[in-house]
Structure 1
Amino acid sequence: MITDRHTDTGEDDSAPVDTLVALFEARGWPYELIGEDELSGEVQGAWAKYQMRAIWRREDNVLQLLCLPEVRVGDDKRTAMFELLSLVNEQIWLGHFDLWSSGSVLLYRHGMMLGDDGLLSIMQAQMAVEHAVEECDRFYPAFQFVLWGGRQPQDALDAALIDAAGEA
């Protein structure tokens, strides 16, 4: 079990980036701090290593979590990918997939509104990171079916969801 480094003081929550650092250290995931309000690291998923970025916006008490599956979309596939993203996002309850205009990079993005205290528990951090990786893993095959398999977006999504449902 992962424990919060503030347990000795009786605190269950801490500043979001500090909590994520504790999570990444406990899991042995590589990371680096980019200033005091941003973390960048790597998490191994079922299909690929995902770059994970967390950006804390103090003024809004919002933690933005980005998970990048190292998928770049060529100009010839952008229309099909936008259609697929629309279909995929209909399946998601938290967060969404997007295509970053700079570099045509696929990403999963989830903004977490934290309370007025701006604190994040280790369990919240763990669930958010795991959810991001699970969603990337869940839809990674659909993205590949469109980009490399030449499938139509709906067919790619259907095939990916059938494959995912069949895994044990």
Structure 2
Amino acid sequence: MKTEESRFEAEEDSAPLDMLMALFEARGWPCGSSNEEMSGEVQGSWTTYQLRCVWRAEDQVLQLLCLPEIRVPDEKRAAAEELLSLINEQMWLGHFDVWSNGGVLLYRNGTMLGDEGLLSLSQAQALVEIAVEECDRFYPAFQFVLWGDKSPRDALEAAMVDPAGEA
């Protein structure tokens, strides 16, 4: 018997929001959608992330936002922006930003889908996984700056410690 996810793998590429909704539903993640936007929740290593996906058909661009529920207080804005610069230098796909309205931290990735404007299941999975992995990877650095009073450089260095060997 086929699982929900394998059923979607067999289908052709789909409209971006339809494919993302199918992925979320197959994984049992909470989600909802409107004509040009879908939103959902994904549990990461550190917190539950809010994902928002916006489709701009006229440009054939899918924008994915991942919000780790971190607000940057005004008194930490300069340190947070310095940390963002250091982090974004290391990013291959997407970037981190702070919305000027409300100081909400977010990961943002825009993807051009070509003339057909279709998204495959593997593309949908990759976009969501990359967003969650990047938020998980840098979440501790934001915590160190915002609540641990570390300098941005020290926070990033502390968050990027990779364990050596096996436990």
Alpha-carbon deviation of 1:52?
0.2
Q: CA RMSD in A?
A: 1.5
Letter in 1 for 2:18: D
Structure 1 residue aligned with 2:120: 121
More off after superposition, 35-44 vs 55-64: 35-44
Structure 2: which 5+ residue stretches go unaligned?
Answer: none
Give the letter for the 2:39 counterpart.
S
Corresponding residue number in structure 2 for 1:157: 156
How far 1:4 moved relative to its partner? 5.3
Answer yes or no: is 1:95 the counterpart of 2:94.
yes
Q: Unpaired runs of 5+ in structure 1?
A: none
Identity score, percent: 65
Number of aligned residue pairs = 162
State TM-score, norm by structure 1: 0.93
1:19 and 2:22 matched: no
Q: How does 1:1-168 map to 2 (within 5 A)?
A: 2-3=5-6, 5=8, 7=10, 11-33=11-33, 35-162=34-161, 165-166=162-163
> Which runs of at least 4 in structure 1 moved beyond 4 Å after TM superposition?
none
Q: Deviations along 1:104-156, whole A, 9 cap, x unmatched?
A: 00000000100100000011000100000000000000000000000000000
Mark the CA change 1:25 to 1:98 in structure 2 (over 3 Å): closer, same or farther: same
TM-score, normalization: structure 2? Answer: 0.93
Distance 2:31 2:101 in 1: 23
1:4/1:12 contact within 8 Å kept: no
Residues 94 and 110 of structure 2 are in contact (CA less than 8 Å); yes or no, is this contact kept in structure 1? Answer: yes
Partners of 2:44 and 2:122 in 1: CA distance: 19
